[in-house]
A and B are shown apart, each in its own frame.
Chain A
């Protein structure tokens, strides 16, 4: 097939789709966009392993599959363990000249439940052993596939079906787990956050994570119109607001060096992000204030880490 791409400024984006149209993702899904862009950045020489989740269910409804690149499905808990085996297998087969030597990127794309709840043990093991793989977490902040159950990546105050808001509860009562910090704690060469509202930043990070020798972890915020209860055409807008309000700062950590990729001199108030989503509709003003204080605190800590390495 002829290699064609579209030029946006300095970036070239291939026209070819590696994930076929006709998948089952909901209207306006942010995760579908993340997978599409990430696969464009990765190209053809990949093996993708996907634990159960929206991403797996929607791209492979049985008689058909969306995948045009090698892909496999594993359980929630062993995605990182499986990719460790794939990576080690490729290495030994190439060493013995059983298959031609070339660069094959081994990638896991998992949801936030598969990453931060169920699969965190296998992920931690794979990172610690230093396998050469890229882990992409498609973070839509709950188990959307089975009907919006809370996960440890669900933010404070969000209403989910297992943490519903009502007279006695405000929904989720714990703060979002910081998976990038957990990845950084393994001293891996590359960890980052990204958002599909900034597509070139996302694609550059995926490319970088694929090129790095050793484990790489990228946490990608994927707005979910169904679970976050926002309008389907607001997906890009909401992702952008998450970054501009400081709720989901976009940064990367290269060998322990923090760098903010999108740094705004003034953060927008978190209300702008919260008011657009039905999952936060019940929140009273004092809770929003509490979230604002937490966001300011976290952002200040992140800035301090960035400043410590800038010197």
Chain B
């Protein structure tokens, strides 16, 4: 990784590792896109949302982002589509739709 700035975790091979497999950047797993695992994606209906934050709290992948205006939005770069947010939402503001649907 010496001197090379990574764009994604995938343009990186074993040749780029430091001696001793040392990783020089903490938390660089956030470069990886886990969103392409998804088969269903969460859709937020802002009219129903009461900003309780339970979706953010329960998301195992930390894929719900806090917006400036206090709403919570699923980050589809990381979201694996487990559907926990839709399940725990007390107002049913989040629905899961098939990835093929628009």
* Contact B87–A25 (Cβ < 8 Å): no
CB-CB contacts below 8 Å: B54-73 with A:
56-63, 66
Which of the listed residues A17, A27, A61 has the most CB atoms from chain B within 10 Å of its own CB?
A27
A20–B28 CB distance below 8 A: yes
Binds B, one of A101-109, A142-150, A233-241, A274-282: A233-241
Which chain A residues border B34 with CB–CB below 8 Å? Answer: 21-24
Q: How many A-B residue pairs have CB under 8 A?
A: 109
On chain A, the number of residues with a Cβ less than 8 Å from chain B's Cβ atoms is: 41
Question: Would A22 and B60 be within 8 Å (CB), given that A68-B27, A234-B87 are in contact?
Answer: no
Whether A232 contacts B83 in the complex (CB less than 8 A), given A22-B32, A63-B12, comes out as: yes
Q: Can you report 27 A-B residue pairs in the complex whose CB atoms are below 8 A from each other?
A: A13-B57, A20-B29, A20-B62, A21-B78, A22-B9, A22-B29, A22-B33, A22-B34, A23-B61, A24-B34, A25-B61, A27-B81, A27-B82, A28-B82, A28-B84, A32-B61, A59-B29, A61-B29, A62-B17, A63-B17, A64-B29, A64-B31, A66-B27, A67-B26, A199-B58, A225-B82, A236-B87
Residues on B lying within 8 angstroms of A by beta carbon are 9, 12, 14, 16-17, 21, 23, 26-34, 37, 53, 56-63, 66, 75, 78, 80-84, 86-88, 96
Say how far B39's CB is from chain A's closest CB, in angstroms. 9
* Contact yes or no, A27 B80, CB < 8 A: yes
Quick check: is A189 within 8 A (CB to CB) of the other chain? no
CB distance from B47 to the nearest CB of A (A): 22
Bound complex: CA of A66 vs CA of B9, how far in Å? 12
> Could you tell me the distance between the alpha carbons of A36 and B5 in the complex, rounded to whole angstroms?
27
A-B pairs with lowest CB-CB distance, top 5: A233-B83, A28-B82, A20-B27, A22-B32, A32-B60
Kindly provide the distance from the CB of A19 to the nearest chain B CB, expressed in whole angstroms. Answer: 7
Rounded to whole angstroms, the CA-CA distance of A22 and B30 in the bound complex is 5
- Chain A residues with CB under 8 Å of B56's CB are 6
Q: Distance in Å from the Cβ of A205 to the closest Cβ of chain B?
A: 16
B57: which of A8, A231, A233 is its contact (CB, 8 Å)? A8
CA distance A6 to B9 in the complex (A): 30
Candidate in A13, A64, A232 with the most chain B CB atoms within 10 angstroms? A64
A182 within 8 A of partner (CB): no
For window 198-239 of chain A, which residues contact chain B by CB distance below 8 Å? Answer: 199, 225, 231-237
Closest residue to A13 on the B side, CB-wise? B57
Residues from chain A with a CB closer than 8 A to the CB of B59 are 33
